[in-house]
Amino acid sequence: MVSCPVCDAEIDIEEEELDEGELLTCDECGADVRVVSVDPLELEAIEEEEEEDLELGEEEEEEEDWK
């Protein structure tokens, strides 16, 4: 089991299925977290500003794919 770095609740996902850079959401507190390392497993909370930047980057990629 994986623990949320914000509230320490268990996030229901198998550790073996995680990849670096993967984004998860804690069901307990709603925090968005990123997998920083898989060996050893390390998660970090994503700040709101950083979330917006990630979303904008994804939108730009989708626009480029569309063109």
Q: What residue segments make up the domains of the chain, in order of their start?
A: 2-66
The half-sphere exposure of 65 on its side-chain side, counting CA atoms within 13 A, is: 6
Residue 32: the pLDDT is 93
**Contact between residue 56 and residue 48 where contact means Cβ atoms under 8 Å apart:** no
SS3 38: strand
Q: Which fold has domain 2-66?
A: Rubrerythrin, domain 2 (2.20.28)
Residue 27: the pLDDT is 93
Q: Look-up: residue for tokens 């990630």?
A: 54
- At CA 14, angle to CA 13 and CA 20, rounded to 5? 90
pLDDT tens per residue, the chain (67 residues)? 789 999 999 988 888 889 999 999 999 999 999 999 999 899 999 986 555 565 666 655 555 555 5
Residue 15: the pLDDT is 85
